[in-house]
Amino acid sequence: MMQLFSWQGLLALLLGGLYGSFFGAIPGLTATLAVALFVPIAFFLDPMLALPAIIAISSVAIFAGDVGGAVARIPGTPASAAYLEELHRLSRKQSPLYSLGISAMGSAVGGIIGTLLLILSATGIAALARQFSSFEYFWIALLGLTAGIFASSGSPLKGFVSLLLGLLMSTVGIDPTLGHPRFHFDNANLLSGLNYIVAMIGLFGFSEVLEHLYRHQDPQAEAKTDQKRASHLFFVKPLLLILKQKWIVIRSSLTGVLVGFLPGAGADIGAWVACSLQKLRPNQQKDDDIVLAGTSSNNAAVASAWIPALSLGLPGDTVTAIVLGVFMMKGIKPGPMLFDQQPGLVAALYLTFIIANVLLLPFYGYLTARLAALLVRIPFRILLSIIAGLCVVGAFAINNNPFDVWVMVAMGGMAFLLRRGGFPLAQVVLGMVLGPIMEQNFMMSAIKSSWDLMSFFERPLAIVFMLLTLAIGVVGVVVRSRYLSAQK
């Protein structure tokens, strides 16, 4: 425990936060990739230094994924795509300092709430997660997809079409259950499927380049950033918003915690569900509130994803899957006995989450926001060239495969056409993320029950999630129809 407060421990936290902010801000370089590249270094570090550094990397990288969205409308993570349009509009209308201040402060508060729940209820929530089977995971994925239909500000029908397109693209490659190749068109590169990070870079980043080349417009920020009031824009205004909308923060953080502790779910799905629930309230569809809902859910899910990892040895997301590998490297066995055998390590992890959210997120968030405020003042033609270059580098860097660059370009062209028809792009990403989860758990459940579809309605928890899915669908249709009637 005291090792965390040594100069080596503090240096590990500071360097981890800096490393995470750098990776998260560049499209394609995700928190997962940052942690994966850190593993060879973690091998030579004491667990009391390696694991806190990983927490600092992932916590800051999740926030830094919003920097590309604020400056250039390119989400750094799938979670950032849930509130991309609102974040970018806020940056242009007011300031990147304000929009990223909401992101950083919302992430910090959500992360603290998630950490407190992690401390208080790790073993209890993990016991509940143990009751989940493939039937429950199927309904959870379907619930996320249903909520995503109503997450766009436009027509739910167009949102549904975009979602179906994403689901279709998620079927490319090897069938995860039966092992049959699908839609690969005799191209070996497609057997591994379409990487949704590559697709996301093309859908949002490269399509933005094509859009501005087509329109021949140089958008300028509507509000000039006053660097003298930077701390007020980044810290004071967002904190006042959080105090005013405390119930949005609490509700979204709890949503992130509940989704995050489910093995395999993580921050991405938590942010989508939280933003969708906020957008179902037509009288409160303010950009500030939607960004606050998504960001507070993000880091709450990051903390709660450690619950199944510590208590059951099950990865809550891709980051904790890598962490479990680090545990094994160090000879640490996660599970219920970890809390008795390694209380110092567990306490250090809890304390690191608090430090990361209270100190590192605001500190590195402020530095990156100041940088973002300077970037938006660059002539847009130069910025457009930088965006195009980052899209190519980001797509190639994921798998070191030139084919991914062509996939990114194709996705950008498709997104350009979708935007011409008024179809939302974020739902395409949601379909690609949740599609494999829904398909795999449906097939597993169907095989287990010998294709008795009534088995999907027999388990109590499955029925609860089914009713929630139906409720979101009905409420979404009713609320949206009333909203459209009021607009007329």
CB atoms within 10 A of CB 116: 17
Q: Distance between the two ends of the chain, CA-based, in angstroms?
A: 61
Sign of torsion over alpha carbons 85, 90, 92, 95: negative
Residues of the chain with pLDDT under 70: 1-4, 26-30, 32-33, 122-130, 151-154, 216-228, 261-268, 281-285, 308, 312-318, 321, 335-336, 375-377, 380, 479-488
**Predicted local distance difference test score (pLDDT) of residue 391:** 81
Beta bridge partners of 182: 173
What ranges in 170-265 are assigned the alpha helix state H?
A: 196-200, 207-215, 230-231, 237-244, 246-260
**Predicted local distance difference test score (pLDDT) of residue 374:** 73
pLDDT tens for each residue of 246-271? 999 999 998 888 777 665 556 667 78
* Rounded Cα gap, residues 36 and 323, in angstroms: 9
User: Can you read off the two tokens belonging to residue 404?
Assistant: 């991914």
Which pTM does this prediction carry?
Answer: 0.73
**Predicted local distance difference test score (pLDDT) of residue 461:** 85
Angle of the 361-375 helix axis to the 7-25 helix axis, nearest 10: 30
- What Rg, from alpha-carbon coordinates, does the chain have? 21
- The three-state secondary structure class of 182 is strand
* Rounded Cα gap, residues 33 and 36, in angstroms: 5
pLDDT tens for each residue of 419-429? 888 888 878 87
**Predicted local distance difference test score (pLDDT) of residue 27:** 62
pLDDT tens for each residue of 372-388? 777 666 776 777 787 78
User: Can you read off the two tokens belonging to residue 354?
Assistant: 């608090």
User: Can you read off the two tokens belonging to residue 123?
Assistant: 């073993």
